[in-house]
Chain A
Amino acid sequence: MRRTRAAAASAVTVSLLAAVTACGGGSSTDGGSNDSPKTLTYWASNQGPSIEADKKILTPELKKFEKQTGIKVKLEVVPWSDLLNRILAATTSGQGPDVLNIGNTWSASLQATGALLPWDEKNFGKIGGKDRFVESALGSAGASGSDPAAVPLYSMAYALYYNKKMFEDAGISGPPATWDDLVADGKKISKGGKWALGAEGSNLSENIHHVFVFAKQHGADFFDAEGKPDFTSDGAVAAVKQYVDLMGKDKVVAPGNAEYAQNQSLQDFAKDKTAMVLWQTAAATLKAHGMSDDEWGVAPVPVQSGTPGADKAVNSMVAGINMAVFKNTDNVDGAVKFVNFMTSVDEQTILNKTYGSIPPVKAAQQDPAFNTPALKVIRDTLATSAAPLPQVPNESQFETAVGTAVKELFADAAAGRKVTTASVKEKLDEAQQQMPKK
């Protein structure tokens, strides 16, 4: 009996150990291999109106690639709500796709995990060199001073979309160029259930994108040169306060927007309830809401001075999607070939045209399709007045901590509580203390 028990116990221990070691850490091989040169798995982010639409858009292109190279690409379109968690899981287990799309603001965070193939000179050489890409887009592909962790695929920037009919009704001739103008115009519009500006107050990423730009305009950054968080500088506090004040003090943003997180402001815009939104690429969604292209206009996002440019005149983040190769891939050559294909001038033109974004590949921007008034604004913004979000490993923590702080301040403003410099500073201080110490 005792022996049986001892044997059972040791069997249990052995299986436990086996299980633990089997789960322990991903593969430790660096650099990937070429063990399965005929297939690739590709995780695409959801860029079109739906997952199904994306599959329809991408499949013919993947077929072209298969025809050229004989490599079959297995496509999975991953919704945004899952993408980061899926990438984290793949990183931990070492079982992931070969090629994947990432939001460009994650570049430095994911770079720090070491899961992505670094794009050094040699790798860039295989896809035609670094110079093919727009500089600001490359600046959002990893921490500065190290090889990019990804290659820019689609670029976007914020612009001010305005509802022409609502502007006309309020007797406003054109879109505002400064924040003072916006508030002044906004006060004319915001009455009788109509509001001047939309905001997605409960969407942490949106909050970050806007307060980042406001901070730039106040000459502040949320991270110092060493990459340490610096959320409570006067400029940062003023920036957050200015954004939230649009609801609380200036009353040009509807209080209800404090709980928006699912693009409800575009719906309000299309229903003539909100006259302006700050958005990246709204055309397709506005069309889906029944608004025709001539009913809205696009202008650069306002800046304090009235003329967008560098430094304090920055009026957008560099938004966009990057393409990365998973280091553990079994087909590293094929993966690089696929990136080369997707960043070729032809594919860049086709895909960016379909998605309403701007190609980060310079040569592809020449296509007249990217010269519409709306896209021209975005293209100019990207070229002259967009700045990348902080490319630091703690970017995703920053989005959560500061994004939540802004969300809570919006909730205060919506409930009629006063948002003061002191209360903003306190919230930002709390956010900063939640950041990792190292």
Chain B
Amino acid sequence: MTVTAQPAVGKEAPPGATAPVPRRRTGRVRRGALPYLLLLPALLLELLVHLVPMVIGIVMSFKELTQFYIRDWGAAPWAAFDNYSVSVDFDAPIGKALLHSFFVTCAFTVLSVGLCWLIGTTAAVYMQENFRGRGFLRAVFLVPYALPVYAAVITWAFMFQRDNGLVNHVLHDQLGLTDSPSFWLIGDNSFVALLVVSVWKGWPFAFLIVMAGLQNIPKELYEAASIDGAGMLQQLRRITLPSLRPVNQVLVLVLFLWTFNDFNTPFVLFGRAAPDAADLISIHIYQSSFVTWNFGAGSAMSVLLLLFLLVVTGVYLVLTSRGRRAADV
């Protein structure tokens, strides 16, 4: 629409102007508007799917949106910063629980991402060697990633049952490692259970990405290195890891965001009330909004989470790009 409006303006130009000028301007405008035009559908969808809900969420966080108002939530009273002040009042139970949940999530994320990366990278490096059954193993490794999350986590929940679960059957009944069968789905062990499932689910992605990254490292580098007498470890340290740097940067960021926001795993594993030790922030927010019907407070917590993730992502990107620029120089 704006494209057609532009030439009309050109035609109304003072009569002194020469003929070719408007034509050139039209062309320039066309060329200038074309990218926008092409982007428009994507932009509109992006608005509809991401930005509008986000804006609505932010608006909601300033409202007292409880069950009394959800039917006509435009009429919910403004709460100003009440929802936020309750969420960050770390001396009161709600704030304290949120902070606790935040720390649990941080610890969980660091451990899970670290382990996913370590296992994924190790497996990918070993899979570089050509041996019989490599294709089969690669396929097997990717199974956790390909399985539907719900089905897989429900199976884990069965395995973690205290009395009839496979985990205790192996650890307690067969290996005798524990004096009595342990609880995995309630109490402090639930953190371990959650971590195990998360790593099991997440490492194949790291494996896949690192494996793709490894394909791009020229074979000659390794050949030259081995002629120079570099061992496997040195090759790994001097060639593989530096070459994987850009891949790893993206991989770690993506894994971090996924793990930090993971909702399905704890929800399927523990139901609507996760044990304290495994109270991840996403499930905590769900509980604060859906289960207790206080969508204003839930939105405020979500906005805080969004801000935190934005800051972390921003700092990470700045740091890594600075590192890259330094490396380029």
B170 proximal to A (CB < 8 A): no
The answer for the CA separation of A293 and B6 in the assembled complex, in Å, is 84
CB–CB A109/B67 < 8 A: yes
CB–CB B32/A4 < 8 A: yes
Question: Measured between C-beta atoms, what is the minimum distance from A136 to chain B in Å?
Answer: 25
The answer for the CA separation of A91 and B67 in the assembled complex, in Å, is 10
CB-nearest residue of chain A to B2: A7
B221 proximal to A (CB < 8 A): no
Question: Measured between C-beta atoms, what is the minimum distance from A308 to chain B in Å?
Answer: 31
CB–CB B47/A16 < 8 A: yes
CB–CB A430/B93 < 8 A: yes
Q: When the two chains form the complex, which single residue of A20, A109, A400, A410 contacts B52, counting CB atoms closer than 8 Å? A: A20
Question: Measured between C-beta atoms, what is the minimum distance from B264 to chain A in Å?
Answer: 14
Q: A15-B44, A25-B75, A92-B71 are in contact. Are A3 and B273 (CB under 8 A)?
A: no
The answer for the CA separation of A163 and B70 in the assembled complex, in Å, is 47
* CB-defined contacts of B272 to chain A, threshold 8 Å: 204, 400
Question: Measured between C-beta atoms, what is the minimum distance from A372 to chain B in Å?
Answer: 33
CB–CB B47/A408 < 8 A: no
CB-nearest residue of chain A to B158: A262
B142 proximal to A (CB < 8 A): no
CB–CB A411/B33 < 8 A: no
Q: A88-B293, A436-B294 are in contact. Are A25 and B275 (CB under 8 A)?
A: no
Question: Measured between C-beta atoms, what is the minimum distance from A427 to chain B in Å?
Answer: 11
* CB-defined contacts of A23 to chain B, threshold 8 Å: 52, 56
B176 proximal to A (CB < 8 A): no
Q: When the two chains form the complex, which single residue of B1, B44, B187, B292 contacts A7, counting CB atoms closer than 8 Å? A: B1
Interface residues of A in 388-438 (CB under 8 A from B): 393, 396-397, 400-401, 403-404, 407-408, 410-411, 414-415, 430, 433-434, 436, 438
A113 proximal to B (CB < 8 A): yes
* CB-defined contacts of A414 to chain B, threshold 8 Å: 183, 186-187
Question: Measured between C-beta atoms, what is the minimum distance from B178 to chain A in Å?
Answer: 13
CB–CB A397/B271 < 8 A: no
CB-nearest residue of chain B to A203: B271
- Counting chain B CB atoms within 10 Å of each CB, which of A4, A110, A114, A438 scores highest? A4
B48 proximal to A (CB < 8 A): yes
CB–CB A113/B186 < 8 A: no
Contact with A along B175-187 (1 / 0, CB 8 A): 0000001010111
Contact with B along A1-37 (1 / 0, CB 8 A): 1011001100010011001100111101000000000
Query: Which 9 pairs across A and B sit closest by C-beta, in order of nearness?
Result: A25-B74, A433-B93, A256-B163, A7-B2, A411-B186, A404-B273, A25-B72, A397-B292, A19-B52
| Known A3-B6, A114-B71, A258-B186; 9 more pairs at CB < 8 Å | A1-B29, A7-B5, A19-B52, A202-B271, A202-B273, A259-B183, A430-B93, A434-B93, A436-B66
6 contacts between A and B (CB under 8 A): A16-B51, A26-B72, A259-B185, A400-B287, A411-B187, A433-B92
